[in-house]
DNA sequence: AAAAAAC
């Protein structure tokens, strides 16, 4: 991890002066906050409202009932704790307890442990890791421009995932890489891909050598664009043509000469499949295929398209690699159907959160409690930028309007907003013009907002994987970050698995959360997390609690700093001194 | 296990 600390991430370094003081919108009025949310403050005591016994099936959960009672009195029974950890292993999640008991992997041919045992590597003839970017020049003939561009980005030493993945890819091996959020996976595949691309495609080149030779697939447009940006920086000074496939570029590619010039193609699954269907391009010459956020891409909904893409990649010696911070066993099995003699690289503990993130689970009782909790957070002073995740598009919209009403500098991103709106929101969030960004799962993966101080899971994530990716928007590249996850009674059955993630990453977790029973499958189905009603957020606001506060806040908001109550949803910003001040210290994208 | 995302 020390290497991380030394790492400076290019022009996008987090500058503390950017938000040098807490945005204490309502300082001096904390008493209001205290009166409205008594339920939200205590996290380590068993909330009376959280009567999970009703979820428990009598026979099966008898012993856990006891454990829960202990949790109530906060008596941490060590035997019980061990039992809880053992149970968690069945879910494909490797808890810290498992580290001590990893032995029965005799099927795996080799195991090399590198980088102070953080990197575990399995597979046939694993290439030796690299320990500096300089060594790539001798070993693999890395082009001087690439080397220079890496240095210019401020990358001094390869990160853990890079030390192992770069040589593996450079030796044209297939790869399954699992490494924490913000650990440098993008460069781990971009650098070798560029290195292997060889000379930039020229129109004069032979049929075999021209056209897209590498393909990167990403689950969202935003991530594809981000990868594109990184690729451009890395390829600076060379004439490689890097293209994000979309309607406009797709049309341009109808021209055969234009098609021949493309070297690296970055795309979301659907746009590629539709381009294939239209016969705009073929993938016959793709020699390197990278699936970023692979577990997401191999989920139902994407899988069919990925299969079509794999089928269209007909180059016999094609190299394939999958990358993610999480790769459940079942999904890895799917990946292994198309990877050939893959090398598997795991950094850290599989499916665990980045350890630079301070995590907290906050019981909020109800929908109303969640809104109160969020308002308290604002009242107590938040350090932007803050990213808030909700479960659905509707809820994103609703929370957006609630916070607009509160006068917060807020924007929202989800798939039903236009491409332009999405891009604008992301860009302004990166610049610091938007302090609070509300988002659906769309923003959960891959997005690299380096300065994000706080992630709020306003709605409880649906899977442990989702949790890990969402909170992974903060605490990147060795920086500190904070994540708060709200939960209500309805979320109780799902809390335990997330609590285990906290525990595995060394966070303090109230014992009662670990003792919460997992509901039986039957009960789970019954509970089925009734889709949170659309109007809940609005109702919570209308219920009186919070609304008064909201009014007060609105009146008080930075009265001295803020001239307009112009919300971030509009073009906004002009003449706003607060905004101006932040723009000066923007990130470089 | 399930909503969101993907021209």
Checking if the pLDDT of A122 tops 60, the result is: yes
Residue A52 lies in a domain: no
Could you tell me which residues come within 8 angstroms of residue A328 by beta carbon, excluding any fewer than 6 positions away?
A: A92, A295, A351, A465
Residues A331 and A213 both lie in one domain: yes
Q: Which domain covers residue A190, as residue numbers?
A: 111-347
Checking if the pLDDT of A274 tops 90, the result is: yes
Q: Choose the most confident range, by mean pLDDT, from A2-6, A95-99, A532-536, A554-558.
A: A532-536
Q: Measured between alpha carbons, how far is A212 from A209 in angstroms, rounded to an integer?
A: 9
- Could you tell me which of A287, A241, A247 has the C-alpha nearest to residue A264? A241
Measure, in angstroms, how far nucleotide B4 C1' is from residue A157 CA: 37
pLDDT of residue A204: 52
Q: Which residue is nearest to nucleotide B2 (CA to C1')?
A: A462
Residue A575 lies in a domain: yes
Q: Measured between alpha carbons, how far is A558 from A560 in angstroms, rounded to an integer?
A: 5
Query: pLDDT tens across A368-401, in order?
Result: 999 999 999 999 989 999 999 999 999 999 999 9
Of all residues in chain A, what percent are helix, strand and coil, respectively (each to 5)?
45, 15, 45
A249: Cβ under 7 Å from strand B? no
A268: Cβ under 7 Å from strand B? yes
Residue A57 lies in a domain: no
A440: Cβ under 7 Å from strand B? yes
Nearest nucleotide to A391 by CA–C1' distance? Answer: B3
Query: pLDDT tens across A77-109, in order?
Result: 322 222 222 222 223 223 333 333 333 333 333
The percentage of residues in chain A with a pLDDT greater than 90, rounded to a whole number, is 60
A218: Cβ under 7 Å from strand B? no
Q: Which residue is nearest to nucleotide B7 (CA to C1')?
A: A271
More confident residue, A477 or A9: A477
Residue A255 lies in a domain: yes
Number of domains in chain A: 2
More confident residue, A66 or A224: A224
The percentage of residues in chain A with a pLDDT greater than 70, rounded to a whole number, is 66
Tell me the average pLDDT of chain A.
75
Query: pLDDT tens across A264-273, in order?
Result: 999 999 999 9
Q: Collapsing DSSP states into helix, strand and coil, what is residue A221?
A: helix
Q: Which residue is nearest to nucleotide B6 (CA to C1')?
A: A270
Point out which residues pair with A386 in neighbouring strands.
Answer: A436, A454
Residue A210 lies in a domain: yes
Residues A318 and A388 both lie in one domain: no
Residues A384 and A257 both lie in one domain: no
Nearest nucleotide to A268 by CA–C1' distance? Answer: B6
A442: Cβ under 7 Å from strand B? yes
A220: Cβ under 7 Å from strand B? yes
- Residue A198 binned pLDDT confidence (cut-offs 50, 70, 90): confident
Nearest nucleotide to A277 by CA–C1' distance? Answer: B7
Residue A373 lies in a domain: yes
Contact criterion met (CB below 8 Å) for A422 and A411: no
Which of A304, A332, A347 terminates a domain? The answer is A347
Q: Give me the CATH number covering residue A455.
A: 3.40.50.300
A415: Cβ under 7 Å from strand B? yes
Mean of pLDDT values over A559-577: 31
Contact criterion met (CB below 8 Å) for A384 and A453: yes
Mean of pLDDT values over A400-420: 93
Lowest mean pLDDT among A254-258, A409-413, A542-546: A542-546
Residue A94 lies in a domain: no
Checking if the pLDDT of A548 tops 80, the result is: no
Q: Which residue is nearest to nucleotide B3 (CA to C1')?
A: A392
Nearest nucleotide to A519 by CA–C1' distance? Answer: B1
Instruction: Return chain A residues 416..435 having CB < 7 Å to nucleic acid strand B.
Output: 416
Residue A74 lies in a domain: no
Residues A203 and A156 both lie in one domain: yes
Scan for tokens 């320990």, then name that residue: A131
Query: pLDDT tens across A503-523, in order?
Result: 999 999 999 999 887 765 445
Mean of pLDDT values over A523-531: 46
């Amino acid at each position: 991890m020390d290497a991380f600390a030394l790492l400076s991430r290019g022009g996008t370094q987090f500058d503390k002066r950017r938000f040098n003081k807490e945005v204490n919108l309502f300082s001096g009025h904390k008493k209001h906050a205290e009166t409205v949310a008594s339920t939200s403050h205590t996290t380590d005591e068993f909330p009376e409202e959280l009567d999970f016994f009703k979820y428990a099936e009598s026979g099966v959960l008898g012993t856990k009932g006891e454990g829960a009672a202990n949790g109530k009195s906060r008596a941490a029974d060590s035997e019980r704790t061990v039992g809880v950890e053992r149970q968690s292993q069945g879910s494909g999640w490797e808890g810290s307890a498992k580290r001590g008991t990893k032995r029965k992997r005799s099927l795996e041919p080799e195991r090399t442990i590198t980088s102070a045992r953080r990197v575990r590597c399995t597979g046939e003839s694993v290439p030796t890791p690299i320990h500096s970017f300089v060594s790539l020049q001798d070993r693999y003939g890395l082009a001087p421009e690439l080397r220079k561009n890496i240095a210019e980005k401020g990358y001094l030493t390869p990160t853990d995932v890079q030390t192992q993945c770069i040589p593996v890819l450079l030796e044209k091996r297939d790869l399954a890489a699992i490494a924490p959020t913000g650990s440098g996976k993008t460069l781990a595949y971009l650098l070798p891909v560029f290195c292997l691309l060889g000379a930039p495609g020229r129109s004069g080149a032979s049929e075999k050598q021209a056209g897209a030779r590498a393909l990167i697939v990403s689950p969202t447009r935003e991530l594809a664009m981000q990868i594109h940006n990184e690729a451009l920086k890395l390829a600076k000074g060379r004439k490689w043509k890097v293209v994000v496939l979309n309607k406009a570029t797709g049309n341009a590619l109808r021209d055969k000469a234009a098609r021949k010039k493309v070297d690296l193609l970055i795309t979301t699954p659907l746009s590629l499949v539709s381009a294939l269907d239209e016969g705009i391009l073929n993938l016959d010459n793709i020699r390197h295929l990278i699936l970023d956020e692979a577990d997401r891409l191999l989920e139902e909904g994407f899988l069919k398209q990925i299969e079509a893409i794999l089928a269209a990649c007909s180059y016999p010696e094609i190299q394939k690699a999958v990358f993610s911070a999480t790769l459940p066993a079942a999904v890895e099995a799917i990946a292994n159907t198309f990877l050939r003699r893959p090398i598997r690289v795991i950094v850290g503990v599989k499916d665990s959160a980045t350890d630079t993130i301070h995590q907290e689970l906050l019981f909020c009782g109800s929908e109303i409690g969640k809104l109160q909790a969020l308002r308290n957070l604002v009242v107590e002073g938040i350090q932007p930028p803050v990213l808030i995740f909700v479960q659905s598009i509707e809820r994103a919209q609703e929370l957006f309007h609630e916070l607009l009403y509160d006068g917060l500098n807020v924007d929202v991103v989800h798939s039903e907003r236009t491409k332009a709106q999405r891009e604008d929101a992301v860009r302004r969030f990166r610049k610091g013009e938007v302090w609070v960004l509300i988002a659906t799962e769309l923003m959960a993966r891959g997005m690299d907002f380096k300065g994000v101080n706080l992630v709020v899971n306003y709605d409880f994530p649906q899977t442990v994987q989702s949790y890990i990716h969402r909170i992974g928007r903060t605490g990147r590249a060795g920086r500190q970050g904070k994540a708060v996850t709200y939960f209500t009674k309805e979320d109780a059955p799902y809390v335990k698995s997330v609590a285990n993630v906290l525990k595995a990453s060394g966070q303090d977790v109230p014992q009662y959360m670990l003792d919460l029973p997992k509901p039986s499958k039957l009960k789970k189905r019954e509970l089925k997390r009734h889709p949170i009603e659309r109007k809940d957020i609005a109702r919570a606001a209308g219920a009186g609690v919070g609304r008064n506060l909201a009014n007060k806040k609105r009146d008080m908001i930075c009265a001295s700093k803020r001239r307009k109550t112009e919300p971030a949803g509009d073009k906004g910003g002009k003449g706003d001194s607060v905004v101006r001040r932040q723009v000066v210290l923007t990130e470089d994208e």
